[in-house]
Amino acid sequence: MPGGWGSAAKGWLKKKSSSLNADRGTGSLRSQDSDAAMGSHTTADSRERATLAGASSIGGGQPCLPATQEAAPATGKGRDSTKQVSNDSAYVSGPTRDTMVQSEASQASVKPSGHREEKSASTAQPPSGSTLSRNPSQQIPASPTHHETKPPSARGNLSTEDSMAISSTPMSPTNRSVSQRSSFMLQRASRESNRASLDMFGRISDRGSLEGSDSSTASRIAMSMPDTSSPSHTLPQLQAAAAKAGVPERLWNCYLALVVVPPSTPLPATMLQLLWDTQDPTEAEGIANDLAQVGVLRVAHLEDGSTWTLPQPDHMAMLQAHPPKDLPALHGALIDSYLSYSGVSKLKDLQDDGYILQSLGHHLIWANRLADLKELLSDPDWLEVKLHGYGTINVVADFRRYLMANADDDVKLMLDAYQMSVSACLQHPGVSLLRSQMVARLTAVRPHAFKERQVLPAPTDEQGGQKVRALRLKGMSMEQAGGLQRMTLRGHTAGLQKVLLSPSGIDVITASQDCTARVWDMEIGDCVLVMEGHTGPITSIALAGQLLLTSSQDSTVRVWDMEHGKCLHVLSGHTAAVNDVAVARDGKTAISVSSDETARIWNMMNGRCRHVIPGRQSGQMKGVLWCVALSDDDKYAVTGSEDFNARIWQMSTGNCMRVMSGHKGWIMAVVVTPDNNRVLTASHDGTARVWSFRSGRCVHVLEGHSGRITTIKIAANSTTAMTAADDNTARVWDIETGACRHVLEGHSSWVSDAALTASGSLGITCSGDELAVAWDLSDGSFLRVLDGHCGEICSAVLTERGRFAVTASEDSTARVWDLQTQPLPALQRHSTRVHAIAPSTGGTTVTTLGGDGLMVWELATGKLKREIDAEGGNMRYLAVSEDGQRALIASANSAMAVYDLETGTCTASKPASPGSRVRSFDATVDLRLAVIVLFDSSIVVWDVASMSQACVLQSRGKRDAEFGHSSGVNDVALSRHGRLVVTVAKDETARVWDAESGAGQLVLRGHTSSVTGVSISPNDACVATSSVDGTARVWNLETGTCLAVLSHGSPVTHAVFSRDSTCIVTCASGCEPYMWDVGTSSRIHKLDSHRNPVTDIAFCEDSSLLATCSKDSSLCVWNTSEGTLEAVFVADGALMCCAVVGGPGDEYFVAGSEAGAVHILEL
């Protein structure tokens, strides 16, 4: 197997990985899950239940909830008691497309004896018999079609992988019981979507919890798809049910009609009027008040004059236990009444009254109108309206409803595409982005008919003015639906440090350098809790049941109640960063280790420190404690220190029981085997050691790594261990013998973390090369390469049997991967970040530069036309000649080369200069001259044709005492035709040089702090400088006169002239662009849209449009005359550079990402 995967080899890896996956990749993975799915319901399995909306049992198919589960909304605050992110802050990817899971699902469906088989909802027909009239004045013949039964608890004992895999399994008598596990998601979706509305009734339910039940047990799950096999309910039975509920006989019809209402859903007066088929709104309100008198409804009269009602849970439970035969007809009649009331013929055009848009999917499923629901789910405009009106949880619930009834591959892909796109829509709620985002993510599967339908004219507002548009993507540059990546968890504002899965498998917990931890509900892909309070980056997290512990560089540990989001205790006492924390399984005690050279044992019941363990005991060496682990019985703790020793401590007394000496470097990771027989330690000395827990004797030295070992992990079987090291490898070890089973090679950077399945048969590594790799540990071969992050992957976890992986990265995101999905074709992109973009010949192509070289793209199609590998690599700077024929590139170590863009041949080059690092670069439009600034502040002008020095403006140790900069040079600009060079430096000045002679001409003084950026106007008349002092200045390039001081309240990072030289755009604090008139020095517009730092600014040819791109993944196009937002595009990751190509009215917008993607867009 080749040894390197990063940089230029990444493209090879994707191709190689794809072929290997096709040959052998799925076999070992599938065998684990299919074997385990045979019905062996273990405790471990139940802990890993239903975590992903896309692959967990697609719970939306539950149109009606069980009588036993329909409890009143809880009165506690629940998780809302802390800062709570919107239900829409993250998203879940779609269900797996593996056909294998059908057999898994059927095998895993354990059907208790005596339980009636139930039929598929997609084929169910209402039995013949009497129908329930919707007119309250008519009699109500009875008949049941939906009899709710509570399933035995054994049905819930399926693992995460099983539950997630059910999504692609059609409903059938064989797998029917499995589907029940998803009904809880619909209960929660209903309650969460209506949380604000429920406020009016003063009863808000706990998030993720139903009164009287536990979300992690099978008791929450109920049969909730239409069922025609239940006994019929006759008229007397229905009347008896109404009478038993205490409803007067004259209201029985209206009471029984409420059976169509989804649970915990407030009802507007319009809905009741249509439900009860009354023409007079006053009559409907009177009926509602009468039902309220007997406790069936609660009524709220709002200040705006509207009336809302809320059916009470006990009565809804009664109705669900006695459904009529014609229930599908009742749902259908309500839908038709809404169509008639709205005066429209299409469901997508229904006028929303606060109810029907939210509940339409529920009614369509019960009415057996699957085709209508599929049409809505295939309409991005309808999905987007519902998203912004009711949240992503409600949209996902509709997908689940459909997929539980009919496992349609097209709908699964639509769900996948929707959930990959939803964060972009939430980032810019005022822009209709969903259509363009979903189309961009479905390019690989090429649903031509769908794509053709999505090409629509730009929308307009009610006044006839054009709305903000979504830029349309050319080609395939976005992550595609249906691949390995299931979802991206976005929300953190700094790099992630750790990721954990809760024992139930429902929650993912991430810890970040932004001083917060977040809990993500994998049932819906939503961030449900933000743990705020730390004042320093979080270093470690630990779990014990519903308790979450976070340790931080702020010297504290915080204890959180994950169910309610409350901080229970702040464990204070350490005087330096807390490096690691561990907690006992019963949650009663915890231990933390710190850079203050102490460990502390805490009483978790009161938050008090029980024991302080100093670093120096009994004459032992003193040092920082880096890591800690608890024994399986929680009676002992093992710590690793910078004094090269590991120690075993008794938790009850704080006494040191054993000292394990032998390492010759810091011990960075410790772990105890589940059988409490062995302790394993990993050290910066490049070795790991296996110790006897009882005696403290070293049993094995695990040698082989040539770099520092960063982590060590063990399998639950206590026989297999994995180490990860700075030598770019991981190793698999036999704990009993100390033998190295396999060397896992291929990463091109340090391996930062590793994880194993419980059986030790599957492992995952993650690395500074931005890749994670899944391995078959039986033979050491790689199975999947997880490529998507654009920063170091710091942490990774696997579900218990290895079906899914979660990775956490420095790019501020966590990603969820389905390891059994076949990889999609690799996207054409650079293997490193895109550093620069330049237009080419005739405006028909554009050239981009990554660290791996040049790529030439066709603008009209977005396809890659030519790829030019750069000799030496690490290329950073690009200039393209005005005629578009040649490109000049420069590397970080001052190598330069000229390429013919038509042939791809190198026509001139200059080798790298050892020891020199380039700080800034610029070139003339004809590529005659180039100027390079090095980090040592040397400034050299080069003749490009001969690749020789034209002149040296300043060199280290030979500065002109009268003219040269007195401190570090930050940036350089070369006038359009190469007459002048302008440099700026930390000495608070800008200096103008003659490019031919190298003589200094002007010193521009006025800034009061470091000058960080410079640009010259296209007409060579003015120069703009930006500074940390909070100002940008405009200077006359001929005289050096300061023409304007553009004041900001924070450091200015950009100052860019328009192409007509009449205005300038500056950026303060990284993400606040301002537009200024050069002639009057007045601020024209504030361009307020980006949330993170702006990375590049570009004008179109006539300066009427301006493009800004940002680390928030968005590209914004602005109308410069009005200062208004014209169009938006949101990428998968941070955008680093942009350009506008083409003439007026025919512009293309090009953006390059940190991950190497090149996005070509048009209005």
Q: Residue 369 is which amino acid?
A: R
What's the whole-number mean pLDDT along residues 410-425? 88
Spatial contact of 881 and 896, defined as CB atoms under 8 Å apart: no
pLDDT bucket at 961, cuts 50 / 70 / 90: low
The larger pLDDT score, comparing residue 1016 to residue 503, is at 1016
pLDDT higher than threshold 70 for residue 557:
yes
What's the whole-number mean pLDDT along residues 679-690? 96
- Check residue 884 and give its pLDDT: 85
pLDDT bucket at 301, cuts 50 / 70 / 90: confident
Cα–Cα distance between 239 and 253 in angstroms, integer? 9
Mean pLDDT lowest among 315-324, 648-657, 944-953, 1030-1039: 315-324
Cα–Cα distance between 654 and 657 in angstroms, integer? 9
Block residue for tokens 């955008």: 1135
- Check residue 368 and give its pLDDT: 95
- CATH code of 1-36+746-825, in short, is 2.130.10.10
Segment 503-517, tens digit of pLDDT: 877 789 999 999 999
What's the whole-number mean pLDDT along residues 943-963? 81
pLDDT bucket at 617, cuts 50 / 70 / 90: low
pLDDT bucket at 962, cuts 50 / 70 / 90: low
> Which residues are within 8 A (CB) of 441 and not within 5 positions of it... i.e. 6 or more apart?
416, 417, 420, 421, 478, 479, 480, 481
pLDDT bucket at 915, cuts 50 / 70 / 90: confident
What's the whole-number mean pLDDT along residues 328-346? 95
Report percent pLDDT > 70 for the chain: 76
Segment 4-62, tens digit of pLDDT: 443 333 433 433 333 333 333 333 333 333 333 333 333 333 333 333 333 333 233 33
pLDDT bucket at 73, cuts 50 / 70 / 90: very low
- Check residue 211 and give its pLDDT: 30
Report percent pLDDT > 90 for the chain: 54
pLDDT bucket at 839, cuts 50 / 70 / 90: confident
Segment 442-477, tens digit of pLDDT: 988 765 555 555 555 555 554 445 588 999 999 899
pLDDT higher than threshold 70 for residue 102:
no
- Check residue 1098 and give its pLDDT: 94
pLDDT higher than threshold 50 for residue 918:
yes
Segment 1108-1149, tens digit of pLDDT: 999 889 999 999 999 999 999 999 989 999 999 987 888 999
* DSSP string over 14-34: HHHHHHHIIIIITHHHHHHHH
Its pTM stands at 0.76
pLDDT bucket at 959, cuts 50 / 70 / 90: low
- Check residue 136 and give its pLDDT: 34
Mean pLDDT of the chain: 79
What's the whole-number mean pLDDT along residues 876-901? 91
What's the whole-number mean pLDDT along residues 106-130? 31
pLDDT higher than threshold 80 for residue 203:
no
- Check residue 407 and give its pLDDT: 87
- Check residue 25 and give its pLDDT: 35
The larger pLDDT score, comparing residue 779 to residue 247, is at 779
Tokens coding 645: 């020793």
Cα–Cα distance between 346 and 358 in angstroms, integer? 16
Q: Same fold for the domain at 827-913 and the one at 1094-1163?
A: yes
Tokens coding 860: 């009209």
- Check residue 526 and give its pLDDT: 73
pLDDT higher than threshold 70 for residue 621:
no
Spatial contact of 793 and 811, defined as CB atoms under 8 Å apart: no
Cα–Cα distance between 1054 and 1064 in angstroms, integer? 10
- Check residue 846 and give its pLDDT: 94
In this structure, are strands 1124-1130 and 469-470 parallel, antiparallel, or unpaired?
A: parallel
**228-257 in b/e burial notation, b at 16+ Cβ within 10 A?**
bebebbbeeebbebbeebebeeebbbbbbb
pLDDT bucket at 359, cuts 50 / 70 / 90: very high
The larger pLDDT score, comparing residue 64 to residue 245, is at 245
pLDDT higher than threshold 50 for residue 117:
no
> Which residues are within 8 A (CB) of 157 and not within 5 positions of it... i.e. 6 or more apart?
41, 42, 45, 46, 218
- Check residue 556 and give its pLDDT: 97
pLDDT bucket at 983, cuts 50 / 70 / 90: very high
Segment 273-284, tens digit of pLDDT: 999 998 888 899
- Check residue 86 and give its pLDDT: 35
- Check residue 460 and give its pLDDT: 52
What's the whole-number mean pLDDT along residues 682-690? 96
Segment 765-810, tens digit of pLDDT: 999 999 999 999 999 999 999 998 888 999 999 988 888 999 999 9
Give the CA distances from residue 1041 to residues 470, 483, 1024, 1044, 1059, in Å, rounded to whole numbers and listed in that order: 43, 58, 12, 9, 22
pLDDT higher than threshold 80 for residue 719:
yes
- Check residue 592 and give its pLDDT: 96
- Check residue 1044 and give its pLDDT: 93
Segment 698-715, tens digit of pLDDT: 999 999 999 999 999 999
**93-109 in b/e burial notation, b at 16+ Cβ within 10 A?**
bbbbbbebbbbbbebbb
Segment 396-413, tens digit of pLDDT: 889 989 998 998 888 988
Which one of 101-110, 233-242, 349-358 scores highest in mean pLDDT? 349-358
The top-level CATH class assigned to 827-913 is mainly beta
pLDDT higher than threshold 50 for residue 837:
yes
pLDDT higher than threshold 60 for residue 819:
yes
Segment 154-178, tens digit of pLDDT: 223 334 454 444 343 333 322 323 2
Mean pLDDT lowest among 118-127, 622-631, 637-646, 836-845: 118-127
pLDDT higher than threshold 90 for residue 76:
no
Cα–Cα distance between 436 and 871 in angstroms, integer? 38
- Check residue 1094 and give its pLDDT: 92
DSSP letter assigned to residue 466: B
- Check residue 801 and give its pLDDT: 84
Thinking of the domain 1094-1163, which architecture would CATH place it in? Beta Barrel (2.40)
Residue 692, classified by CB atoms within 10 Å of its CB into exposed (0-12), middle (13-18) or buried (19+), is: middle
Domain boundaries in the chain? 1-36+746-825, 37-461, 827-913, 1094-1163
Segment 645-678, tens digit of pLDDT: 999 999 999 999 999 999 999 999 999 999 999 9
